[in-house]
Structure 1
């Protein structure tokens, strides 16, 4: 397995940056903080002296209510909303709001979650061109993604591309770190991310946004548009929304030195085009019950940039003509009596994507054996029932039953090789052999129980247990010359445990100390168990789940009327990590996925928000982390993708009621990366980025925004051979009615 972090050393340049006088002597102006719930702010009206953004980037809220507003329910209470999951600040969770996302111009999910402590995004490199995420060192395979509680999971490999998820339609991104409730379903080995979709809150409501982006020299890069219309009545609500973006690509920094593969200017194959639609209707027969039906669909089309220095004839020439996810789901919440509730969730999800592989750099010839057209078509059906009751003021008991069916089908057209694996009879740009449709089917079940005991009004003691099992009905593969391979199904099961203690030492949720332990598993994907990876791997049907025991000790306090501080210390003990082990008996470059790895992830997070005046606020967060991974068959192995130190600072200042200025900086130390197609590692990726956003509230319904990312056009590389974007500028408008 890859994707982890090591070392706590900090490069000299970063250390100088951290100590620079400009940071210690110059006040940084803000955005509005995610205040403790007692002083959460509403939207700005022209003429007010409050800051334009009502929530700030170190929010540690406990989710969103059914109407999208923040819920202040303590963990002792039955969950008030059918949509959000169980994330609470009592367990060290973190919430990023729609207003934060807008203020910091984080138009895709990978960029948005990068402002949270303990969380970072990193490009995978290679021809897949995907954005991976890490939550306290755990990657996308170990941190499930849900939308309104509905699992988004690609059945065969779950290699989600977080850059495909646009953010304007997200009310909140709720991040559970380490401790993800067993009531959230299986797989939360290192945490969980839940996206809460927007919902109308007024009788007639609409919003329209448009953002145009330019490169460092003013070159047009692309546009993103968003629209939302909805209505909320006493007994029902309805909405329709959609987002669309089309980017020709992005510009490299001016200091980039051209190579034969990548010239100066636009990054080759960096174009993207995405759109999403979301339609939702809901019935609210009373103040406590809610029943909603939602349909969402998102489509993506992207290129895959090349490694800038690796010889072109050793690279894959891939295009992704479509990447599609659609969901239809029903959510309900019914209150039973004064102290009980039942929630249900049922869904149908479909996933489709395609890869076109070409012989050459120009993407016009398919004649060699490396060329193919690969197609995936998957769907999932699922249902969940959660019920809970509260016994006086002493105890709260909740339970969950979870079921999901995943089906995967794939087929492929091959060029340059026939059914015998030979070039005989093949014609350029005409498929020479056709891989038949192969399929896999798997059921996943989970039963969970969570109990919260309240020995005193200021103390909660939480215990949780779940048991997950998977029933593999069918698994198939394909390889030349033998053809379709039908594997012997192998079922697996595993228990999960967790516990937490929360002490609200001043009698309010604003001041608390908490400690939690989570012992969770992550099941291997079909890809890890059965994929032959174009002849580079052999299957392992008996591959076992990975397991992590996560510890978190935290303290959160409201140390002034408009100020909040949170400190977290965490440690994870990881077992059965899946690694690719060389298998020389099957070939010189053949590997197999095996449970041979182990790891220790240790770190600390500090988050602070402070609003000294109504027109000024500042804050940020710091993450320090070290990961060590034992990989016995790869002596040189280093966990990649995560910096040892990550710092985010922001400020917001309103010189006059209509204008809000929001500078922010991002600092990260170096991280491990691997030379492409080798087992050699080196450190790269230290950066100091300065960003700036300015909002002008022309009227109460119309706003103009201008901003810049990577102001000083810094050149930095997070993954070997894949430099990051240079300076970009944007101009946006927003109208609300």
Structure 2
């Protein structure tokens, strides 16, 4: 059965089983603007990676870091250092800078994505300043189920995938495999050639990614479950050169022949009595990365001082223990302890190896009480702390230290069910984020002075939301407003020192105060059995209160997504969609790019043998546009794919 339209998912998510292993958006957070995206929905709108799938949700904006060829998102204006990514509840990020390249993450065929914005659970662990993103694998329900697909798209693109799972008595298994390759994406016909780009296929924009993931689960009792899982990624990509008009920016001729990430984990849930459960996880994550910088666009020589081979070898190991009790009438009490070690090694070929290591822990407590008149109150608090085990000055080789830092994260959320068709919430939370290794110790290629004593960023979130249904659930809607005030924001402070040549150096300091405010809405309407439509809209205003000259980047003020699903024949479905995003700042100095808009179209034809043929186009109008200045987006892209379900 095909998935419901995207905007019908969020109200239904409030009724989902909150106890499934690997989930992080818990009962206390529903109803909320926070949403879920399934792999089926990502397929409907031809979203091939995690970043593109996430932008189906209101308040989540697609961003590019063109200088590193990375695809990311912001959530209500917060970046991925502040909104961590989890896989089945396990943190998955790059230890050094906290930025996972979501363009490398394909969507598991049997997967879902949860997003909590602002008011994320205190039991989820540290560094959830702006919320959290969790990709988790669903449990199969049949003896054998799954699908297989293959497709092609413009620019020499090919993709294929297999998802399969099964359940037998007290065991279940799930396995997913995906592969995507593209020689180069096609630029718009309106692109004006530049010295580093002649148009047509974008120079050095190739990619090759594959992912394998699996879970093996044992359920010896109705409330007990034990899972072993893994997620393996292998990737390589080119870094298209800068094509803009800023003469201060020197084009980079970079390639990434290795972007490898392995995650292994164990999840358990054990019923300790009629009212008490124990949950644990253990995880180990390994990231190996190679960046090669060349002299010029031939990508064949490395003789200049700007050329290098840079190797990263990182690992993260840790775990979590959570105990939940419901022995008191209408009351749930839970506590969780998280601990992890982050280890980073970096080396340029022919240069010394440098090692950095942090320990981070979090202890949280949460209580929820349901009142007989339809209200419930959730109160929680966590205490997070971090200790530095190893750090080094990469200029001198001398060991460095930094202060042990900590933070408190309280929250209070009220929910009320006004009727069978209307519910809402009002919440407040104080959240924090510890600065990354790069934030504290990087010289930024000779442009900065490290600051080992950076303190955590903190934020106060206020969130009000309503959700409801009408006309026998044919109409679904959500709406919410939010306000977030950030203190001790880590911002760039210029000219703290000068090089012998007189160039000013900057340093990251806790000098910032910022405010994010906004409004989100999502509606879905099933007009007939054959016609469905949906809308999502977000207004986000992010301001730097302490220093307006330093701009907050990556988030458009207005963003709209519209779609329809039209069953024109019992075997033919049409899915037109449209996204429009306001102009945005792409540098702290105020450099901006114009509006982003894309008209997309997909047709699905049901064939015999449980097969579906899909074809269509993205950026149908072939707009020449950018998400980062000097790095044009793909033009019109045609695609076709064939899928078989079993």
Question: For residue 25 of structure 2, what is the aligned residue in structure 1?
Answer: 86
The number of residues matched between the two structures is 639
Larger deviation: 379-388 or 83-92?
A: 83-92
| 2:448 matches 1:537 | yes
In 2, Cα distance between the equivalents of 1:149 and 1:584?
41
1:263-308 alpha-carbon deviations (Å, 9 max, x no partner): 1211111111000111221101122211110121101101111111
Aligned partners of 2:11 and 2:476 also within 8 Å: no
Alignment of 1:620-699 (within 5 A): 620-630=535-545, 632=547, 636-674=549-587, 680-699=589-608
Deviations 1:456-491 (A, max 9, x none): 251110111000000111112322xx3x13102421
Instruction: Give 1:245 deviation, angstroms.
Output: 0.7
State the match for 1:150 in structure 2: 90
Q: Does 1:450 align with 2:450?
A: no
**5+ residue gaps in structure 2?**
none
CA distance in 2, matches of 1:122, 1:386: 35
Shift of 1:584: 4.5
Question: Which residue of structure 2 lines up, in the alignment, with residue 409 of structure 1?
Answer: 345
Contact between 1:616 and 1:652, CA under 8 Å: does it hold in 2? yes
Answer whether contact 1:57 1:100 (CA < 8 A) is retained. no
Deviation at 1:341, TM superposition (A): 1.2
Return the alpha-carbon distance in structure 2 between the equivalents of residues 89 and 716 of structure 1: 37
Does residue 499 of structure 1 match 2:406? Answer: no
CA contact (8 A) 1:169 1:198 kept: no
CA distance in 2, matches of 1:457, 1:699: 52
Match runs of 1:369-384 below 5 Å: 369-384=305-320
Aligned counterparts of 1:706 and 1:158: Cα–Cα separation in 2: 36
Separation of aligned partners in 2, 1:54 and 1:556: 17
Aligned to 1:616: 531
**Which residue does the alignment assign to 2:233?**
298
- Number of the residue aligned with 2:376: 460
Contact map agreement 2:244 2:629 (CA 8 A) in 1: no
Question: 2:212 pairs with 277, 281, 284, which one?
Answer: 277
The equivalent of 1:331 in structure 2 is: 267
Contact kept, 8 Å, 2:496 with 2:507, in 1: the verdict is no
- Cα separation, 2, equivalents of 1:257 and 1:148: 44
- In structure 1, the residue matched to 2:279 is 343
1:208 to 148, 155, 158: 148
What is residue 112 of structure 2 aligned with on the other side? Answer: 172
Is residue 245 of structure 1 aligned with residue 183 of structure 2? Answer: no
Provide the residue aligned with 1:474 in structure 2. Answer: 390
Displacement of 1:322: 0.7
Specify the SS of the correspondent of 2:9.
coil
SS in 2 for 1:359: coil
Residue 226 of structure 1 pairs with residue 161 of structure 2? yes
Contact 1:261 1:308 in 2 (8 A): yes
- In structure 2, what is the equivalent of residue 187 of structure 1? 127
The answer as to whether partners of 1:563 and 1:611 remain within 8 angstroms in 2 is yes
C-alpha distance after superposition, 1:481-504 (max 9, x if no partner): x3x131024211110011100000
Distance 2:138 2:293 in 1: 38
**What corresponds to 1:605 in structure 2?**
520
Check 1:718–1:643 CA distance in 2 against 1; reply closer, same or farther (3 A cut): same
2:79 matches 1:139: yes
Question: Alpha-carbon deviations, 1:313-351, whole Å to 9, x = none?
Answer: 922221111111101100011223332211111111101
Instruction: Find the counterpart in structure 1 of residue 511 from structure 2.
Output: 596
Contact persistence 1:142–1:522 (CA under 8 A): yes
Q: 2:9 aligns with which of 56, 59, 63?
A: 59
- Pair 1:549 & 2:549 matched: no
8 A Cα contact 1:250 1:267, kept in partner: yes
Distance in 2 of aligned mates of 1:393 and 1:221: 61
* 1:575 matched to 2:516: no
- 367, 372, 391: which is aligned to 2:327? 391
Q: Distance in 2 between matches of 1:391 and 1:91?
A: 27
| 161-170 or 350-359, which deviates more | 161-170
Deviations 1:90-117 (A, max 9, x none): 2431111111111011011111111110
Distance in 1 separating the partners of 2:487 and 2:375: 32
Shift of 1:572: 0.6
Secondary structure of the structure 1 residue equivalent to 2:351: strand
SS in 2 for 1:370: coil
Q: SS where residue 52 of structure 2 aligns?
A: helix
- Please give the TM-score of this superposition, normalised by the length of structure 2: 0.96
Q: Write the deviation string for residues 477-533 of structure 1: whole angstroms up to 9, x where unpaired.
A: 322xx3x13102421111001110000011x4x520111111000110010101112
- What's the counterpart of residue 35 of structure 1? none
In structure 1, the residue matched to 2:224 is: 289
* CA distance in structure 2 between the aligned counterparts of 1:412 and 1:84, rounded to whole angstroms: 39
2:644 match: 735
What is the DSSP-based 3-state SS (H/G/I as helix, E as strand, rest coil) of the residue aligned with 1:391? coil
Q: Secondary structure at the match of 1:100?
A: helix
Distance change >3 Å, CA 118–CA 270, structure 1 → 2: same
Farther-moved stretch of structure 1 (637-646 vs 491-500): 637-646
Higher relative contact order (CA 8 A, sep 6+): 1
Structure 2 partner of 1:424: none
- SS of corresponding position for 1:201: coil
Which of 16, 33, 46 matches 1:72? 16
**How far apart, in 1, do the equivalents of 2:164 and 2:33 lie?**
34
* Change beyond 3 A, Cα 1:682–1:405: closer
Question: Secondary structure of the residue that 1:478 maps to in structure 2?
Answer: coil
Cα distance in 2 for residues equivalent to 1:135 and 1:102: 22
TM-score (normalised: structure 1) = 0.84
1-side partners of 2:384 and 2:608: how far apart?
54
Correspondence 1:103 to 2:44: yes
Counterpart contact for 1:53–1:103, Cα < 8 Å: no
Aligned-pair CA distance for 1:583: 3.6
Say whether the 8 Å CA contact 2:283–2:319 is kept in structure 1: yes
3-state SS of the aligned residue for 1:585?
strand
Q: Is the 8 A contact 1:145 1:153 kept in 2?
A: yes
Cα separation, 2, equivalents of 1:681 and 1:392 = 55
CA-to-partner distance for each residue in 1:142-179, whole Å, 9 max, x for gaps? Answer: 10100000001221111211111011436111010111
